[in-house]
């Protein structure tokens, strides 16, 4: 069992609960996509602090290798999630190298803010390929191994824009449609794979102050935060905490759920 201090490693408060206890994921292998930064990297760190062997995947090869170098026994996996043969090879290689794959957290995505009047089919195809088709390809290949093992968890990151739609300021119609597709994909996969012992759920962030939103002006972020009941935007640590919960034994009866992590934004 690892004895690392979870609070010191991740920034979570001491006594945060069994989900974040050192050793909670001992012996487990967790694949995190979009892991070179932001929510993905924070989640990879949290999995590692709780004992998992983490596989960090990202199309940013230099970034993902640097991130993996700072985690114990981690594996760096340069990966374009839209490349179907590459996804198959990558996930199969994880199983060959680590022996099994127990958890997948799919964070890899692109966010765009283009008004529909100026968007073209190429833009839509790119966003859908990365955000929706990529999510399917990663989940499909991982589920093949999990089904054979009779256990595992898949968490796909959606967005509140999948419910609310995109307005063009932060998220556009292509992004919103892709994330609505992720929500539907989760429901479909959860229904199909529930009898196999594998759990599939969606994590649904609201507006978050993460590297993905680095280009958003500070004034706009303030306006967004003012509209969130708890009074701030989300943080990577908020999403990592929710991801670990959905992946943990504490969520053993959670299947096909869409967990809002938005500070109450959907209440409005």
**Which residues belong to the active site?**
175
CA angle 156, 89, 192 (to 5 degrees): 40
Burial of 231 (0-12, 13-18, 19+ CB in 10 A): exposed
Taking the alpha carbons of 153, 154, 160, 164 in that order, is the dihedral positive or negative?
Answer: negative
Residue from 179, 200, 215 nearest 246 by CA: 200
- In the three-class reduction of DSSP (H, G, I as helix; E, B as strand; rest coil), residue 3 is classed as coil
Phi, psi dihedral angles at 105 (to 5 degrees): -120, 110
Distances (CA, A) of 262 to 28, 105, 160, 168, 213: 28, 18, 8, 19, 15
- In the three-class reduction of DSSP (H, G, I as helix; E, B as strand; rest coil), residue 232 is classed as coil
DSSP 20-68: GSTTTTTT-EEEEESTTSHHHHHHHHHHHHTT-EEEEEES-HHHHHHHH
Both tokens of 179, joined, read 């994330």
Distances (CA, A) of 185 to 28, 29, 140: 25, 23, 11
């Amino acid at each position: 069992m690892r004895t690392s201090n979870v609070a010191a490693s991740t920034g979570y408060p001491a006594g945060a609960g069994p989900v974040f206890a050192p050793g909670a994921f001992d012996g487990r292998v967790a694949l995190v996509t979009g892991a070179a930064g932001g929510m993905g990297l924070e989640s990879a760190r949290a999995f590692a602090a709780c004992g998992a062997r983490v596989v960090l995947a990202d199309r940013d090869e230099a970034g993902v290798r640097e991130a993996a170098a700072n985690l114990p026994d981690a594996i760096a996996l340069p990966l374009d999630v839209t490349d179907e043969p590459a996804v198959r090879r990558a996930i199969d290689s994880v199983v060959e190298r680590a022996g099994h794959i127990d958890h997948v957290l799919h964070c890899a995505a692109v966010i765009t803010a283009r008004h529909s009047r100026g968007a073209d089919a190429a833009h839509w195809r790119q966003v859908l390929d990365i955000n929706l088709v990529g999510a399917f390809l990663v989940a499909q290949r991982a589920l093949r191994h999990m089904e054979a093992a009779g256990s595992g968890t898949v968490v796909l990151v959606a967005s509140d824009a999948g419910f609310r739609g995109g307005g063009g300021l932060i998220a556009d119609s292509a992004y919103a449609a892709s994330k609505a597709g992720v929500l539907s994909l989760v429901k479909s996969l959860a229904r199909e794979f529930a009898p196999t012992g594998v759990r599939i759920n969606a994590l649904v962030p609201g507006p978050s102050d993460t590297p993905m939103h680095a280009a958003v002006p500070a004034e706009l972020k303030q306006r967004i935060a003012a509209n969130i009941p708890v009074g701030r935007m989300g943080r990577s640590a908020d999403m990592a905490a929710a991801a670990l919960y959905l992946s943990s034994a504490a969520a053993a009866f959670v299947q096909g759920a869409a967990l809002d992590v938005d500070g109450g934004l959907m209440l409005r």
